[in-house]
Amino acid sequence: RIAYVNGSYVAHAEAGVHVEDRGYQFGDGVYEVCEVRGGHMVDERRHMARLVRSLGELRIRLPMSLAALGVVLRQTIARNRVRDGLVYLQVTRGVARRDHYFPDAATPPSLVVTARSVDPAKGEAVAGQGIAVITVPDNRWERVDIKTIGLLPNVLAKEAAKQAGAREAWFVDASGHVTEGGSTNAWIVTPEGRLITRPAESGILRGITRTVMMEVAEKLQLRVEERPFTVAEALGAREAFVTSATNFATPVVRIDGQTIGDGRPGPVVRALRENFHQVAEIAR
């Protein structure tokens, strides 16, 4: 495997950044994960737009033009011979002597890109079974709209899920409403068949898959309501699911040990999954 690190393509096993990289020292950076399908990136344009926004919010420079970044992403995918899988990119505020203040404006940001193959059959198998989730208090900071590499609450929540025999953790805010998953956006289908997901204006990352899934729902003539929902409402839902670039829509069949619907993946999430790649932009 090959990784791109600050201007060079290097053996993945030997790829490294400086010990005083701001990402390593402070979690001072942002990232994107983009699905690769048939060798092409899915929704590249939207992922790049979100990257630019995350960087802007943190006042980190884009390390190169978006066109050049597109070349690096494609090169990394090609050099790793990825047909189906993921491409990961991370930008940090660069290398500087450890000091909380921003470094000199001339400090170049660091850029790392990796890509790896993922067997699509694995995601299909998980989706065929459905997953269990647990709920945990949302103890994250207020700026979860920024896709920062500082993911400690998410790491702890997902590990707690794993220890409980579940795959994802749903964060719950102080008013008892679900915000999102540790690495996914959360959705339910009401007994009336309406799709509910939290508005992206507060408490969540605006998932690219979430945005595209709204278009898929429209195409399928499903009604979507953007509003917060409680854990109690989720427990009474007909279906529940999570969305992310790593496995577009994954059915949730258990929440805190309680069965959702009939305990099997439902027709709505199945239809959304099947139609996703007809709606997503695949950049060739």
- Active-site positions read 147
Q: Which of 82, 133, 196, 208 binds ligand PLP (CB under 6 A)?
A: 208
Closest CB to ligand PLP among residues 80, 247: 247
184 binds ligand PLP (CB under 6 A): yes
Closest CB to ligand PLP among residues 2, 213: 213
255 binds ligand PLP (CB under 6 A): no
**Reduced 3-state DSSP string for the chain:** CEEEECCEEEEHHHCCCCCCEHHHHHCCEEEEEEEEECCEEECHHHHHHHHHHHHHHHCCCCCCCHHHHHHHHHHHHHHCCCCCEEEEEEEECCECCCCCCCCCCCCCCEEEEEEEECCHHHHHHHHHHCEEEEEEECCCCCCCCCCECCCHHHHHHHHHHHHCCCCEEEEECCCCEEEEECCCEEEEECCCCCEEECCCCCCCCCCHHHHHHHHHHHHCCCCEEECCCEHHHHHCCCEEEEECCCCCEEEEEEECCEECCCCCCCHHHHHHHHHHHHHCCEEC
245 binds ligand PLP (CB under 6 A): yes
Q: Which of 185, 197, 247, 275 binds ligand PLP (CB under 6 A)?
A: 185
**Cα–Cα distance measured from residue 284 to residue 281, given in angstroms and rounded to the nearest whole number:** 9
Closest CB to ligand PLP among residues 95, 167: 167
| Token couple for 164 | 């409980």
- Least Å distance, CB 48 to ligand PLP, is 12
- Least Å distance, CB 284 to ligand PLP, is 20
Stretch 38-67: interaction string toward ligand PLP, x if CB under 6 A = ------------------------------
Closest CB to ligand PLP among residues 109, 203: 203
Say if CB 154 and CB 183 are below 8 A apart: yes
Stretch 16-35: interaction string toward ligand PLP, x if CB under 6 A = -----------------x--
Q: Determine the interface stretch with ligand PLP among 16-24, 63-71, 104-112, 183-191 (rule: CB under 6 A).
A: 183-191
- Least Å distance, CB 226 to ligand PLP, is 15
168 binds ligand PLP (CB under 6 A): no
Closest CB to ligand PLP among residues 95, 273: 273
Q: Which residues bind ligand PLP (CB under 6 A)?
A: 33, 180, 183-185, 205, 207-210, 243-245
